[in-house]
Amino acid sequence: MNIQMIPLEIYGLKSDLNAILHTLRDLGSVHIDNISEAPEVAVRPLSVEREMIRNQEQRTFLLARIEGLNEMLKCEPVQITHIPPGDHISAVHQNIEKLVPQVKRIKEHSESLKAELSSLPRYETTLKKLLPLIPSSAHHPGNVTIGILVNRMHVAVLDSITRRIFDVTSGRSEVIASDVDEATRAMLIVFPEVYREKIDFILGQEDVARLRLPAELGEGPPDLILVKLRDRMAAIPGEIEKLNQELISLKLHWCHRLSVWRAVLQDEIEENRVVSKLGETDLTFVLMGWVPVDRIDELEKALNQMVGEAVFLNKLNLTNKMKERAPVIQQNPPPAKPFESLVNLLAIPRYGHIDPTRLMAFFMPIFFGMMLGDVIYGLILLLISLFLTRRFKEGLMHDILIVLSMGSGWSIVFGFLYGEALGTLGAKFGLQPIWFERASKEHVASLLMMSLIVGAVHITLGLILGVWEAIKERKRSHLLERGGMLLGLCCLFLIVGVLMNYLPDDFMTPAISGLIIGIVLLSASLGWLGILIGPIEFIGLIGNVLSYLRIAAIGLASVYLAKVANDVAGMLGSVVVGVILAVLVHSLNLVMGAFSPTIHSLRLHYVEFFRKFYEGGGNPYKPFKSRYQATRTE
């Protein structure tokens, strides 16, 4: 069911535009149409001033920077319900330019420290391998120590380097080489500082890998550098923690302010976007929109209080053309509300047309219960779904869990009707079927017949609603199509009743005549091609009814799988192994029992039922409103 909407025009002086938009935003009930898509309003689109475009770009940029700060500071989402007075846009300009570099510096410094901490252990491993090579001359003042690592396949180059270094330093150097592992040979060169440039030149000419350490560790023999490295590794976590505390302090001080500024900027940006939807004359602006019928008086009162007689509100007559773009507010009782999400997954109902949410809320849990039909499975799924609703408190997942809990409740009901608890295990504990035992051979035909009757009722209801929609909308082709299907299907039921001796033979002739008339009407709705397509469409309609046999098939598959689990557990010699195997099979059956009935119940509604009457493509109701509510202070 849709809430009644009133189309309206609002005229006002351009000088009052901002005040009126602020009023509409705080009221939060007017869905604003684009004036270019409203042919009943003959005005030109409102020209947007260059200053407004510049402000929009500026606010969008500021909002992006605030979003970046929220991410860097890890600010939790906050629902803003109150905006303190003040010039928040100026506050954003003044503070954002200082805060962004500050947070960025802390984050970058923290990341660099983390990268350094992850790299230092590699240097520690190498330095520890060089400790046995350190000569005493490495600790003499004025000496320089350089480490070289060479693959053992190229150790010949070390001999060449050694000779050249001795020649350059006139023997005043010391070179020690040793294998540090199976693939690498290391060399330590100790020489006076005065020969650094010459030694660097020699090493630069050779294809060797010098041991290059972070500049923060300075220079010196490996043992001293190793001490500095370990001190550095011990100090870095403290520095990182200090930076984290700075971020926490900034978070506590700024996150709420950022949320307030974010809400203010979002409102400003949305208000500027709305301006592009308006129209204008030379002196006035024109707004075309929609408001729920129960809020029209509130809107008139608010505009009069803010602007007075300088604003004019004109209620328009709702034409069929306007209905096509009217926004939709679905109005359903609380038990049916979760099913709105499932209906909207397919399409939003059109304004003034049937909203199938309540019908789905009635039939879908019953279909689910008919398929699963087990007391224990239903109880387990009910407990799981109710537990998970505490985690998913809103959104599509919450709605699906509520739907699953309703289906689980009906599964318990049908479990007692079928006499099933963990399949056939319930019978061993005295559970007897109230209706019939669907797992028994003599009742399979009854189960199939029950599924067909349910399908016939469901499809017939859909066709009745479709005929009603066609009459209301005065669509001749839809009336012929759905009316022909309805007449043909009802007459087919009469023929089946006669053939099964439920009805007297006198019904056969009128039933066949009605069936032919129904197919003719169906064919007439399709034009010349209907001569061929009409009978095919009617056969497809019969297939829709037969599709409901899946209710019986899925239910039988579930109960037989549960029976297999129980029988296999009893056949095994080990009680422990039998119980484990039974639990695994029952768990698999439970998972399938949660998904399969849900999917097939949805299919029966989307494909077989909705197609007979449902017309989606509605326009969702999106009122122009503030990001914060109730206690807004200007």
Residue 194: inside a domain: yes
Do residue 377 and residue 504 come from a single domain?
yes
Q: Is the pTM of this model over 0.85?
A: no
Asked which of 275, 292, 310 is the last residue of a domain, the reply is 275
Do residue 159 and residue 13 come from a single domain?
no
What is the token pair recorded at 208? 């060797």
Asked which of 220, 238, 261 is the last residue of a domain, the reply is 220
Q: Which residues contact 308 (CB under 8 A, 6 or more apart)?
A: none
Q: How many CA atoms are closer than 13 Å to the CA of 432, on its beta-carbon side? A: 2
Residue in this structure with the two tokens 């326009």, named with its chain if needed: 619
Residue 535: inside a domain: yes
Asked which of 174, 199, 220 is the last residue of a domain, the reply is 220
Do residue 452 and residue 507 come from a single domain?
yes
Residue 283: inside a domain: yes
Number of structural domains the chain divides into: 4
Residue 633: inside a domain: no
User: Are 168 and 195 contacting, i.e. CB atoms less than 8 angstroms apart?
Assistant: yes
Residue 621: inside a domain: no
Work out the average pLDDT over 593-621.
93
pLDDT of residue 492: 94
Secondary structure (DSSP) of 166-215: HHHHTT--EEEEEESSSSEEEEEEEEEGGGHHHHHHHHHHS--EE-PPPG
Do residue 261 and residue 313 come from a single domain?
no
Q: Ranked by mean pLDDT, which of 105-114, 209-218, 397-406, 610-619 comes out on top?
A: 397-406
Do residue 346 and residue 367 come from a single domain?
yes
d(CA 248, CA 251): 5
Residue 8: inside a domain: yes
Model confidence pLDDT, tens digit, residues 331-359:
999 999 999 999 999 989 999 899 999 99
Model confidence pLDDT, tens digit, residues 233-274:
889 899 999 999 999 999 888 888 888 888 888 888 888 888
Can you give the CATH number for the domain in which 188 is found?
3.30.70.2750
Strands (E), 295-395: 311-315, 327-328
Do residue 111 and residue 232 come from a single domain?
yes
Flag whether pLDDT at 568 surpasses 70: yes
Domain range for residue 512?
Answer: 334-612
Flag whether pLDDT at 572 surpasses 70: no
Do residue 399 and residue 542 come from a single domain?
yes
pLDDT of residue 634: 36
pLDDT of residue 410: 97
Model confidence pLDDT, tens digit, residues 317-330:
888 888 888 999 99
Do residue 394 and residue 254 come from a single domain?
no
Do residue 307 and residue 247 come from a single domain?
no
Q: Which residues contact 378 (CB under 8 A, 6 or more apart)?
A: 369, 372, 408, 409, 410, 411, 412, 415
Do residue 161 and residue 269 come from a single domain?
no
d(CA 48, CA 38): 19
Can you give the CATH number for the domain in which 115 is found?
1.20.1460.20
Residue 480: inside a domain: yes
Do residue 404 and residue 549 come from a single domain?
yes
Model confidence pLDDT, tens digit, residues 97-147:
889 899 999 999 999 888 888 888 877 777 777 777 777 777 788 888 887
Residue 126: inside a domain: no
pLDDT of residue 81: 67
User: Are 193 and 140 contacting, i.e. CB atoms less than 8 angstroms apart?
Assistant: no
SS3 content of the chain, % helix, strand, coil (to 5): 70, 10, 25
φ/ψ (deg, to 5) at 312: -125, 125
Do residue 42 and residue 85 come from a single domain?
no
Closest CA to 354 of 486, 481, 466: 466
Average pLDDT of the chain?
Answer: 87
Work out the average pLDDT over 281-292.
90
β-pairing verdict for 184-192 and 143-151 = antiparallel
Flag whether pLDDT at 633 surpasses 50: no
d(CA 169, CA 140): 16
pLDDT of residue 173: 83
Flag whether pLDDT at 631 surpasses 60: no
